[in-house]
Structure 1
Amino acid sequence: MSRSPHPAAVALGAAAAGVAVWSTLIERRLFTVRRHTLPLLADGAAPIRILQLSDLHLAPWQANKIDWVRALAELRPDLVVLTGDLMGHVGARHALLHALRPLVEQTPTVFVHGSNDYYGPRRKNPIKYLREPSRLSTRPPDIDNAALTEGLLGLGGIDLNNTALRMELRGTTVELFGVNDPHIRFNDVDAMRAARTALGDAPDDSLRLGVLHAPYQEVLGALLADEADLILAGHTHGGQVRVPGVGALTANCDLPNAQARGLSVWHDAHRAAFLNVSAGLGNSIYAPVRFACRPEASLITLEAAR
């Protein structure tokens, strides 16, 4: 005579099934805008709104994500910052440029690359993400990064990989400096610093903005030493799967898990800067899951300190 399943086992199975459906079919499509306000500008300065987009991991068939990104132009930011891993499929370049066109064509936009802007996705054991991440480029790139860069430049974007630039936004001088992806050791801090030196001295009340994809501590320290007021990064997916009450189980780099999503402060004994790590808008097509970590864009409003 067969026994009926224990009620606790039935409840546990139902809960697991619900989590699986929610995380794979629902939450990863619930795109949201995470908003922050920071007192970083000089007295009397007009506010500056920065829209940060990261980790789209776009595949050509993701029409809902494409439409949502295109609609972000309605926010009318003053600056768009793309922090890498925009590509999620070797054939996604045209779809990506279509998604970004309304933003980049009408708004000053800077970008740095992530590893997935060089390498298409592959199946991986998800347990590997809980261990120390590999930082080796062990295969030839299969994404045409030069064509991606040319496409972004063609829309009006500005390449910030291992370089620096200066612009005026609403009456404030903004100095931007960025590096290529530290996750695959493409960063070149010396080249970035040489570009900064070539710019000459900036006004004392300038805003200094550091940009990178993967927020490894060594490079965060370099941006902090260069006196960044605000550092923007992505890569972590916010942990992608977060445990309520615990948070992210991994940052997929040496950043503390507690700082794997959102706004925090990065500091040493002498300096401090705000750090915003975007949880990003996507995931690998081979890991289509998000739990307690909605896909996001970041809208950061900078205001006068007083």
Structure 2
Amino acid sequence: MVGAGAAAGIGVAAWGNSELRKFELKQVTAPLLAPGTLRGADAFRILHISDLHMIPGQDTKIAWVSALDALDPDLVVNTGDNLSDERGVPDVLRALGPLLNRPGMFVFGTNDYWAPGIPNPVTYLFGARRTPSYVDLPWRDMRAAFIERGWQDATHQRLEFQVGPVRLAAAGVDDPHHDLDDYSLIAGAPNVDADLSLALLHAPEPRVLEKFAADGYQLSLSGHTHGGQLCLPGSRAVVTNCGIDRERVSGLHRFKNMLMHVSNGLGTSKFVPLRLFCRPSATLIHVTERDA
């Protein structure tokens, strides 16, 4: 019996590891724009990327992410945790390469700032936050490369810019999962003249989502949860690794008066290299006009 159980465990681990390279593109529709905003276009397309957790040599991931440029998104939003290794920055830039030529915004997560540590599975399953390793990653170089290519850092910033016919108002905070956020730096309603208002945060912590919703933002974008990563059949999450409920661990949902999109991410910590019933993904969000 022990031998059979061990063999089954090895089989599950092997399958879970193979799932890391079976990337999926998800597509959702958010009818948020006033009639006439798009001037005849069918949608404003936002490509939401999160949680790359890049490790050197992940060539399949690099090729898949780079090929997303063929979707011709109007805006790219990256909600952090790009790194899982101190040598990962060059491969992050290879993966995002053509997408960095498009209008984009980003916020970081703690796994951009500090290297991942070996997790305690008991702590994880019971929802306790792990203390960061505080081993520095080269996030400054990555940030500089993003900005040099034209992406905007939304961390504790209020941004206003136009992409095609759509006037955008956006704001973001630093990673709420480890209390790096300071909402007072961006507090207040988005510009009333904006066609679309976006809220960026790495971890979908309700205490911060409530503030964005109260200020009137239309759509929040976050990652961090990995969709549960080790799920039951049907992608039913066991844990969320943050304060959001399991039913909203990934995908497009409503949070009070705001829509929220949670990416289940494109990678994992290098110390937990498997996914169960939760394949890695990016999402193309079709922001359409509301009914007249």
Q: Which moved more, 1:147-156 or 1:175-184?
A: 147-156
Q: Which residue of 2 aligns with 1:36?
A: 28
- Paired residue for 1:124, among 101, 110, 119? 119
- 1:148 matched to 2:142? The reply is yes
Q: How does 1:108-187 map to 2 (within 5 A)?
A: 108-134=103-129, 136-137=131-132, 139-187=133-181
Distance change >3 Å, CA 186–CA 13, structure 1 → 2: closer
Question: Quick one: which amino acid aligns to residue 33 of structure 2?
Answer: L
Q: Deviations over 1:15-57 (max 9, x none)?
A: 5444322111x21110111100111111123220000000000
Task: State the aligned residue count.
Answer: 287
CA RMSD of aligned residues (A): 2.1
Q: How does 1:223-234 map to 2 (within 5 A)?
A: 223-234=212-223
Q: Which residue of 1 aligns with 2:91?
A: 95
Displacement after TM superposition at 1:285 (Å)? 0.7
Structure 1 contact 45–303 (Cα < 8 Å) conserved: no
Structure 1 contact 89–120 (Cα < 8 Å) conserved: yes
Secondary structure, aligned partner of 1:113 = coil
Q: Measure, in 1, the Cα distance between the counterparts of 2:131 and 2:122.
A: 18
Q: Measure, in 1, the Cα distance between the counterparts of 2:234 and 2:72.
A: 35
Q: Measure, in 1, the Cα distance between the counterparts of 2:8 and 2:290.
A: 47
Q: Measure, in 2, the Cα distance between the counterparts of 1:18 and 1:69.
A: 28
Q: How does 1:1-306 map to 2 (within 5 A)?
A: 16-24=9-17, 26-46=18-38, 47-105=43-101, 107-134=102-129, 136-137=131-132, 139-193=133-187, 201-203=191-193, 206-244=195-233, 247-267=236-256, 272-306=257-291
Q: Measure, in 1, the Cα distance between the counterparts of 2:98 and 2:73.
A: 12
Structure 2 contact 235–277 (Cα < 8 Å) conserved: no
Using the size of structure 1 for normalisation, the TM-score is 0.88
Question: Quick one: which amino acid aligns to residue 163 of structure 2?
Answer: L
Displacement after TM superposition at 1:170 (Å)? 2.8
Displacement after TM superposition at 1:72 (Å)? 0.8
Structure 2 contact 37–195 (Cα < 8 Å) conserved: no
Displacement after TM superposition at 1:93 (Å)? 1.0
Q: Measure, in 2, the Cα distance between the counterparts of 1:281 and 1:217.
A: 23
Structure 2 alignment gaps of length 5 or more: none
Q: Deviations over 1:119-166 (max 9, x none)?
A: 1122122222112332655x5341132222112111211100011111
Using the size of structure 2 for normalisation, the TM-score is 0.92
Secondary structure, aligned partner of 1:251 = coil
Distance change >3 Å, CA 145–CA 246, structure 1 → 2: closer
Displacement after TM superposition at 1:228 (Å)? 1.1
Displacement after TM superposition at 1:14 (Å)? 6.3
Distance change >3 Å, CA 247–CA 154, structure 1 → 2: same
Secondary structure, aligned partner of 1:59 = coil
Q: Measure, in 2, the Cα distance between the counterparts of 1:190 and 1:98.
A: 35
Q: Between Structure 1 and Structure 2, whose CA radius of gyration is higher? A: 1
Secondary structure, aligned partner of 2:20 = helix
Displacement after TM superposition at 1:98 (Å)? 1.9
Structure 1 alignment gaps of length 5 or more: none
Q: Measure, in 2, the Cα distance between the counterparts of 1:38 and 1:192.
A: 24
Q: Measure, in 2, the Cα distance between the counterparts of 1:18 and 1:94.
A: 33
Q: Which runs of 4+ in 1 moved over 6 A?
A: none
Q: Measure, in 1, the Cα distance between the counterparts of 2:121 and 2:8.
A: 21
Question: Quick one: which amino acid aligns to residue 287 of structure 2?
Answer: L
